[in-house]
Amino acid sequence: MTRHVAVIVGSLRKDSINRKMAHALIARAPASLSFGFVEIGALPLYNQDADAAPDAATVAFRDAIRPVDAVFFVTPEYNRGIPGVLKNAIDVGSRPYGHSVWAGKPCAVVSASPGAAGGFGSNHQLRQSLVFLDMPAMQQPEAYIGGADKLFDADGKLNNEGTGKFLEKIMQTFAAWVERNARS
């Protein structure tokens, strides 16, 4: 059975390290998983007043997350935390109260950063929200990838064999995690 996974990248930058990392991860995933990027840049800031009549971007986002079996987050760290655009997407998907599109979906978090800590702060801050959202988050291997700006060539391809093997381990473990925790 093929499991469908939404990929959410916490960076909007065109040449995003985290988008490159997401592609590198997907390239190393087993065939039992299929991936689709769900974009978050067009979402308006969450406002409870709009719950009664959400805009088209909000409806499209929720509709993209609702049917997937799992979610894979790849995020940078901004000021020791989650990028605002990612937190906003989490809030948009969790509302209106009682109608969260996240509940029960197994997930994983990879953070990548030019810094040595590899986005440790954002990774753990995101995990706090995932607990509240009832999303079983893969615990091991932990993935805080530092020096990520040096891991890709001019074409955006991963150029580090050791990191490639680690990404493959992440994806193999994630496939098993999804299979154990998916609700359908």
CA 97 to the chain's CA centroid: 22
147 conformational bin, left if phi > 0, alpha if psi -120 to 50, beta if neither: left
Spell out the domains of the chain, with CATH numbers in brackets: 3-181 (3.40.50.360)
Average pLDDT of the segment spanning 127-151: 94
The band of 13, judged by pLDDT with boundaries at 50, 70 and 90, is very high
The pLDDT assigned to 20 comes to: 96
pLDDT of 21 reads: 96
109, pLDDT greater than 90: yes
Euclidean distance between CA atoms 170 and 76, whole angstroms: 17
Query: Is 90 exceeded by the pLDDT of residue 115?
Result: no
Q: How far apart are the first and last CA of the chain?
A: 11
List residues bridging with 1 in a β-sheet: none
- pLDDT for 60 beyond 80: yes
**145 in Cβ contact with 18 (< 8 Å):** no
Beta strands in 22-169, from DSSP E residues, in sequence order:
33-37, 70-75, 107-112, 144-145
pTM over 0.85: yes
CA dihedral 84, 182, 36, 149 (to 10 degrees): 50
Angle subtended at Cα 22 by Cα 8 and Cα 73, rounded to the nearest 5 degrees: 35
Q: Is the pLDDT of residue 114 over 90?
A: no
Span 63-81, pLDDT tens digits: 999 999 999 999 998 889 9
Calculate mean pLDDT across residues 94-98: 93
- Is 158 a residue whose pLDDT tops 80? yes
